[in-house]
A and B are shown apart, each in its own frame.
Chain A
């Protein structure tokens, strides 16, 4: 069953086409990676789907419902949860309270919200930090809280914007393991933006590659890694630089 269907999506920022004619399908229960170099239009695509930007052209369907141009709080109520690259949340509230804000979108009862929030904190293994304040926590924990907040809204599709950025290799590994566990336990569909190929490769069942606002490739991780155009777009710069340096020596 197709959960999310994007057809011919185009978004223009004053003449710069951040996304042009992008189409993609996401099946229920999949983990999809979205990769591409800086400025490829990954975050713009996310923002269009979630509703921070209104696409200039194209259609977005979620669970067979047209959600094009829905505001973020509406897409969230439809069942799309997302995290941000920088999830700056209130420093005045504890971790538990922050997650409760997510739970409050499904219930208005404080006790139920509290219970659900602590359950989710167990899932992301933050139960001992529940009473800590956000500003006291290291970045890896903050990212987990962001994930917990998005999970608390009970999404069917979880969209993660660079959950591994700023993490060290060990933390990254833990994050990947956590994502796989959540995916398995809840049967969630996960759509991940990742800058780093090494992170997205092991978890994704399918990878979509953007470059210069266009979709240049889509397929299994192994195929993507050997795709000519992807290497050019993604690794080309590095290789070119490497060659140049060697040449100058």
Chain B
């Protein structure tokens, strides 16, 4: 059984050749990136791209395959990031011990929240997740024990340290993020062929029909939401050691949740490569355009461009860029 699971995760055989080649190119690109591009800013953008891939791949479970507009990823990222940061700063616990704990905290939060909020459907669920994230952010801003609005800073260590994941070069972080993304991709590759994957898609298509086929829709959604929380938690733990500084505005912000959802929707929610495509477009655009326009004192234009993209895509093909590709392919 376990071997079969692994086989499913590692086999991309059922995908068209073009997709497999694209995937290999993607891996190669990520792998050699730190050697060919030396610019600090470009490397930082690349790492951000990888983190967002991770978030997006996770969100795609509940938001894409599950069809639930959950806008609360930031709080899971934040929960895990704060757990890791607190444990590392206050008790000097190694990163590799903190991370599982952070992920567990994020998952428990997802479970409790999902269990209650999935009694709501559609827009009501989306609004409830927004409300809960805002409450969490306010709590974290005003909670002095965890640094309040000032946030938490990790102490700088004198020598590069694997136990506390502190390195002097971004290359290490790049590869760590890359490994996380690869794990996420392999998981998604298993997931889309698994029972849970099919059940989630059935629920998205028609919840009543799904229930008549013996699917406990509520429970399946809670499960998917928890897995989404795990991905966000891993991202949060990475974020903490990469930036060495977190505050409620960087990891708990609603803007982050919306960015994750938006990115996945633009790329193509409910498809394997959608989140990656979305991140590939949106993250460089965001960072470079933001920096370029910000430097000229023009603020807010980048948001207008996103809005325009969202409008064009939702009017033309609600399933995003991947939806456009699929459509063209099916016509042929």
Please give the number of chain A residues whose Cβ is less than 8 angstroms from any Cβ of chain B in the complex.
34
Task: Report how far A101 CA is from B211 CA in the complex, Å.
Answer: 11
Determine if B208 and A104 form an interchain contact, defined as CB atoms under 8 angstroms apart: no
User: What residue of chain A has the Cβ atom nearest to residue B326's Cβ?
Assistant: A92
**Residues in B neighbouring A11, C-beta threshold 8 A:** none
Task: Report how far A101 CA is from B199 CA in the complex, Å.
Answer: 6
Determine if B212 and A82 form an interchain contact, defined as CB atoms under 8 angstroms apart: yes
Determine if A89 and B205 form an interchain contact, defined as CB atoms under 8 angstroms apart: yes
For residue A57, give the distance in angstroms from its CB to the closest CB of chain B.
Answer: 23
Determine if A88 and B212 form an interchain contact, defined as CB atoms under 8 angstroms apart: no
Determine if A76 and B193 form an interchain contact, defined as CB atoms under 8 angstroms apart: no
Task: Report how far A128 CA is from B237 CA in the complex, Å.
Answer: 49
Determine if A104 and B212 form an interchain contact, defined as CB atoms under 8 angstroms apart: no
Chain B interface, >50% SS class: helix
Determine if A73 and B216 form an interchain contact, defined as CB atoms under 8 angstroms apart: yes
Question: With contacts A92-B270, A110-B193 known, is A101 near B202, CB below 8 A?
Answer: yes
For residue A147, give the distance in angstroms from its CB to the closest CB of chain B.
Answer: 12
Please give the number of chain B residues whose Cβ is less than 8 angstroms from any Cβ of chain A in the complex.
24
**Residues in B neighbouring A101, C-beta threshold 8 A:** 198-199, 201-202, 210, 213, 215
Check if B217 is an interface residue, CB within 8 A of chain A. Answer: yes
Interface positions, chain A 68-107, Cβ under 8 Å from B, are 71-73, 76-77, 81-82, 84, 87-93, 97-98, 100-102, 104-106
Determine if A76 and B213 form an interchain contact, defined as CB atoms under 8 angstroms apart: yes
Q: Mark B200-224, 1 if CB is under 8 A from A, else 0.
A: 0110111011111111110000000
Task: Report how far A132 CA is from B215 CA in the complex, Å.
Answer: 24
Question: With contacts A52-B208, A110-B195, A113-B195 known, is A90 near B213, CB below 8 A?
Answer: no
Task: Report how far A33 CA is from B229 CA in the complex, Å.
Answer: 48
For residue B198, give the distance in angstroms from its CB to the closest CB of chain A.
Answer: 5
Determine if B195 and A108 form an interchain contact, defined as CB atoms under 8 angstroms apart: yes
Known interface pairs A50-B212, A149-B213; 20 further A-B residue pairs with C-beta atoms within 8 A, sorted by A's residue number? A71-B211, A72-B208, A73-B211, A73-B213, A84-B212, A88-B206, A89-B202, A89-B205, A90-B205, A92-B270, A93-B198, A97-B198, A98-B202, A101-B215, A102-B213, A104-B199, A108-B195, A110-B8, A153-B213, A153-B214
8 A-B residue pairings within 8 Å (CB atoms)? A72-B212, A84-B208, A84-B212, A90-B201, A92-B205, A104-B198, A150-B213, A153-B214
Interface residues of A (CB under 8 A from B): 50, 52, 71-73, 76-77, 81-82, 84, 87-93, 97-98, 100-102, 104-106, 108-110, 113, 133, 149-150, 152-153
